Chains A and B, each alone.
Chain A
């Protein structure tokens, strides 16, 4: 175990060096956040498919309970129950469009993780940084529980629990719990918990900050203690269901699945779940009494409980819906938490966009009208009024708007179009538009995956470390 302890110490030191300008010390947050003996208990596993690269290099690392797909290198790192999903990486011969540039991709892109500690974190998508198109790097970085690194190369950063960095190159930043950052390129920022920031320079800028006193009921991360709050309780209550999946080698498909859909073997499917065509359910998704219409998807760490998705709905990574009905073409952003009650359901009208990191928690029936943008913390109809706007009205805004805790500057029309284009791209990538021949996506390509496992040294000086491994076709 000595070597693993040394490795953790080395990672903490490296990130503290990076964050010295912010005078930020990660040590009190990280020490004992995950006991080292936990890191010896779980095997790692990787996927093999004819549709994705198979190119792994693991060196001087612990990979406990983590999953790998695609082209990935991990060195001097600890990855605890994380998903490193390289099924959207760029391929040699692709062309990347950026402003007036058309940049050819000269080698297959790879995810490159070095000197980092990721806890229950999802890494997905591809590098959007035009300066590093073939290497999606994560260096000198620590992420806490259920963070998302989505198309976001980063160096020297610390991400709090349930935070997301999306399509952004980040250097030397601290991202507070439940914050969402999509801003192109940022450095040396210390972002408060509960900040939602979406910026496209010269086009638009969206900013929302959760009231700290109310956010702490949902997620709270203080020095010397693991994250706590309703979000943590919610996932912990369902942890055992996932444990069973990892303990069994062969598992029967628990629900009837059409040929054009895929249900990951590491997803939890409880009774009364219905899967339509072109549906994609990712690993670590949780469905219970869930009705998923054509083209819907539930990505990693998504929970759909006593809910219905009419079709072509997107549940982005970490989104959770309980006692909720989604009309068609609804987008539920990263880590959003939508909760109705048994006798007081939440209804979301078609074509509505739920911004990433939105909390809707209602004890009375609540209906969100079709075609709206919704953000922030909503528990009553009044809060829905101050935290939403019709997309048609937003499209008319060309200067600025301040509504409640939300500030918006720039072109509403460009903002709405950017979201609509992205939603279309996500549906396309997930195979929602597959017609039996064309438009194959993850739902069709991820149907037949073989999973292999790898394990660490069980004892001795190197206990918990995995031997250096190269896996190629």
Chain B
């Protein structure tokens, strides 16, 4: 399994969905769709968009969960409900409050329309220390980082530049392939 190197499994940056900082969520989703259409060498789809600064350096990652998070109703109650956990309120009570709040919110179509105009930088995740991996690293190191993160993808670096992305599905496919070889 260790014979696989990250650079053999990663998706190069040029083939991945990227948008410049300042883009809207809608522009990010279009970029994802476009990248998916052009990217046909695997059946697994991209699940994130990388955000680039004006020097084309990756400064953040916008996942599907981040886009869904943008659809959550935004009011001061959201923060308050989130805080109740530290005051000893039960998870079921907090869930009930969230449900009530969702029912009072605008219809889904209106929410989507409004959210599509929001900026990507307000919802993207800034990569943390354990989310980078060297292109020359072996697969077992990548698996360790994916599991301990846990992360759904890692940013692949070479000479301190981000050159690609290693998705959990890429690592899983390599593991699956190795397992099959062992059985044969």
Tell me whether A205 and B87 are in contact (CB under 8 A): yes
**Of the residues B86, B88, B100, contact of A402 by C-beta under 8 Å:** B100
Q: How far is the CA of A189 from the CA of B85 in the complex (A)?
A: 12
**Of the residues A189, A205, A209, A407, contact of B97 by C-beta under 8 Å:** A407
Q: How far is the CA of A367 from the CA of B52 in the complex (A)?
A: 60
Tell me whether B80 and A409 are in contact (CB under 8 A): no
Q: A400 interface residue, CB < 8 Å from B?
A: yes
Please indicate the chain B residues that have their CB under 8 angstroms from the CB of A341 in the complex: none
Q: B172 interface residue, CB < 8 Å from A?
A: no
Q: A150 interface residue, CB < 8 Å from B?
A: no
Q: A199 interface residue, CB < 8 Å from B?
A: yes
Q: How far is the CA of A205 from the CA of B100 in the complex (A)?
A: 19
Q: A440 interface residue, CB < 8 Å from B?
A: no
Please indicate the chain B residues that have their CB under 8 angstroms from the CB of A201 in the complex: 88
Proximity string of chain A (409-428) to chain B, C-beta cutoff 8 Å, 1 when within and 0 when not: 10000000000000000000
Tell me whether A400 and B86 are in contact (CB under 8 A): no
Tell me whether A199 and B87 are in contact (CB under 8 A): yes
**Which of B80, B88, B100 has the largest number of chain A CB atoms within 10 A?**
B88
Please indicate the chain B residues that have their CB under 8 angstroms from the CB of A209 in the complex: 80
Tell me whether A183 and B88 are in contact (CB under 8 A): yes
Tell me whether A207 and B97 are in contact (CB under 8 A): no
Please indicate the chain B residues that have their CB under 8 angstroms from the CB of A207 in the complex: 84, 87, 89
Tell me whether A189 and B86 are in contact (CB under 8 A): yes
**Which of B93, B96, B97 has the largest number of chain A CB atoms within 10 A?**
B93
List 11 interface pairs A-B (beta carbons < 8 Å), by A numbering. A183-B88, A197-B87, A199-B88, A205-B88, A207-B84, A207-B87, A400-B96, A402-B97, A407-B84, A409-B89, A409-B90
Please indicate the chain A residues that have their CB under 8 angstroms from the CB of B80 in the complex: 209, 405, 407
Q: How far is the CA of A201 from the CA of B89 in the complex (A)?
A: 10
Tell me whether B93 and A409 are in contact (CB under 8 A): yes
* CB of B73 to closest CB in A, whole Å: 15
Please indicate the chain A residues that have their CB under 8 angstroms from the CB of B97 in the complex: 402, 407
* CB of B76 to closest CB in A, whole Å: 8
Q: How far is the CA of A205 from the CA of B88 in the complex (A)?
A: 8
Whether A400 contacts B87 in the complex (CB less than 8 A), given A209-B80, A405-B80, comes out as no
Q: A interface, by DSSP: helix, strand, loop or mixed? A: strand
Q: How far is the CA of A189 from the CA of B88 in the complex (A)?
A: 12
Tell me whether B93 and A400 are in contact (CB under 8 A): yes
Give the residue name and chain of the B residue nearest to A199 (CB).
B88
Sort chain B's interface into a size bin: 10 to 19
Q: How far is the CA of A209 from the CA of B83 in the complex (A)?
A: 11
Q: How far is the CA of A402 from the CA of B80 in the complex (A)?
A: 11
Please indicate the chain A residues that have their CB under 8 angstroms from the CB of B88 in the complex: 183, 199, 201, 205
Give the residue name and chain of the A residue nearest to B84 (CB).
A407
Please indicate the chain B residues that have their CB under 8 angstroms from the CB of A409 in the complex: 89-90, 93
Please indicate the chain B residues that have their CB under 8 angstroms from the CB of A407 in the complex: 80, 84, 89, 93, 97
Q: How far is the CA of A214 from the CA of B64 in the complex (A)?
A: 38
* CB of B63 to closest CB in A, whole Å: 29
Give the residue name and chain of the B residue nearest to A201 (CB).
B88
Interface residues of B in 31-88 (CB under 8 A from A): 80, 84, 86-88
* CB of B116 to closest CB in A, whole Å: 31
Please indicate the chain A residues that have their CB under 8 angstroms from the CB of B90 in the complex: 409
Please indicate the chain B residues that have their CB under 8 angstroms from the CB of A399 in the complex: 93
Q: How far is the CA of A197 from the CA of B88 in the complex (A)?
A: 10
Q: How far is the CA of A207 from the CA of B83 in the complex (A)?
A: 10
* CB of B75 to closest CB in A, whole Å: 12
Q: How far is the CA of A209 from the CA of B80 in the complex (A)?
A: 8
Give the residue name and chain of the B residue nearest to A405 (CB).
B80
Give the residue name and chain of the B residue nearest to A190 (CB).
B86
Please indicate the chain B residues that have their CB under 8 angstroms from the CB of A199 in the complex: 87-88
Give the residue name and chain of the A residue nearest to B86 (CB).
A189
Tell me whether A205 and B86 are in contact (CB under 8 A): no
Q: How far is the CA of A407 from the CA of B89 in the complex (A)?
A: 9
Interface residues of B in 94-109 (CB under 8 A from A): 96-97, 100
**Which of A197, A201, A209, A405 has the largest number of chain B CB atoms within 10 A?**
A209
Give 12 new A-B contacts, CB below 8 A, not counting A199-B87, A205-B87, A407-B93: A189-B86, A199-B88, A205-B89, A207-B84, A207-B89, A399-B93, A402-B97, A407-B84, A407-B89, A407-B97, A409-B90, A409-B93
* CB of A376 to closest CB in B, whole Å: 13
Please indicate the chain B residues that have their CB under 8 angstroms from the CB of A197 in the complex: 87
Q: How far is the CA of A183 from the CA of B86 in the complex (A)?
A: 12
Please indicate the chain A residues that have their CB under 8 angstroms from the CB of B84 in the complex: 207, 407
Q: How far is the CA of A209 from the CA of B82 in the complex (A)?
A: 13
